Amino acid sequence: MRAPAALDVDALVEDPATRVIVCCGSGGVGKTTTSAALALRAAERGRRTVVLTIDPARRLAQALGLEALGNEPGRVRDAAGELHAMMLDMRRTFDEMVEAHAEPERAAAILANPFYQTISSSFSGTQEYMAMEKLGRLAATGEWDLIVVDTPPSRSALDFLDAPQRMSTFLDGRMIRLLSAPARAGGTGLRKLVGAGFSLFAKAVSTILGGQLLADASAFVQAFDTMFGGFRERAEATYALLRSPGTAFVVVAAPEPDALREAAYFVDRLAGEGMPLAGLVLNRTHPVLADLSAQKAREAADGLRGAPLATAVLRLHADRVDLAGREERLLARFVHAHPSVAVARVPVVAADIADLDGLREVGDRLAVTEPAPEPAALREAR
């Protein structure tokens, strides 16, 4: 196999030009741990760093020694550096945006509106848009040398790339225009909407949503109308940030077929969007530790008598060589399809990552840029 270029993690996190690192990948591949380890490594090398998780799992708080993560950066006090961490609170971020961009009376009306209370926590695409909003707000403060973003698992991790377009489509949609028509026309509300020739629309939507919900939706859209342009502008500004040279995407995978297929999807999608890809982190690999082929190990085990411990060790080694061979073949297929993608391999850690020392160990393994020479045992296994 043609060896992939090594991903130099330390060069990435120490480079002053790197301002945002976005970690993406499928579920269960160690993406949250990788994000936290990168952030900790950057902070302990002198960069004022914040890690933002959009993943609803609580593992990040536990590993960082925090009771919980809030919607604003909290200091990780045991880190040897300026490290802060936070978890996206979608509803609270939406509320803050309304409060920041609307007059107090109008903001209060929006926040109290039942339709707003529904869409701010469950409307399709809201989480991704709020992630864009929060990232943009963190970047705009100029307070952070580096922002590390831990995205949701699976392909929805890149849905925030679509957030500006999806928000524009929503805001320009026919239903939104109809619901906001009374305010734009200087009318008297939903009755004028009906009287203006939209009775069929109103009747159909009332049947689906109910008359009260339709009225709530109309009132919400009319109150929110002046903020639509600002929504779109901020999302597009954050999208531009993601495409800028100061941003680096890191795709995280495990040496498993499904995870590497997802990684290939992410790499292709990022390339199609013109997003800057730093490389692939291949987590939980199983390197061979001794230069003995699986076949010879099994033959030696079969020939031993009265040495159960040595026999067990030899058979475990043979299984490890087989597993490492499968992982190498999977990575070879990925590299063949994406030869320009740099790779960092992270050997599996035996214990759960539950504290800063565990994150430091992951960071140390991430930063190894020179792969060990391939043992003859692994060449024979292939």
What pLDDT, on the 0 to 100 scale, is given for residue 115?
75
Between residues 154 and 300, which one has the greater pLDDT? 300
Between residues 259 and 2, which one has the greater pLDDT? 259
Q: Mean pLDDT across the stretch 11-17? A: 97
Domains of the chain in sequence order: 9-286+340-364 (3.40.50.300)
Percent of the chain with pLDDT over 90: 43
Q: Mean pLDDT across the stretch 25-49? A: 93
Q: Mean pLDDT across the stretch 44-59? A: 84
Q: Mean pLDDT across the stretch 118-138? A: 78
Between residues 134 and 185, which one has the greater pLDDT? 134
What pLDDT, on the 0 to 100 scale, is given for residue 100?
80
User: Is the pLDDT at 328 greater than 60, yes or no?
Assistant: yes
Q: Mean pLDDT across the stretch 97-109? A: 83
Res. 226 pLDDT band, cuts 50 70 90: low
Rounded Cα–Cα distance for residues 126 and 123 (Å): 6
Name the H helices within the chain.
9-14, 31-43, 59-63, 90-101, 104-112, 114-122, 126-141, 163-171, 174-185, 190-193, 199-209, 211-224, 228-243, 257-273, 294-303, 308-337, 356-366, 376-381
Between residues 288 and 352, which one has the greater pLDDT? 288
Res. 224 pLDDT band, cuts 50 70 90: low
What pLDDT, on the 0 to 100 scale, is given for residue 156?
64
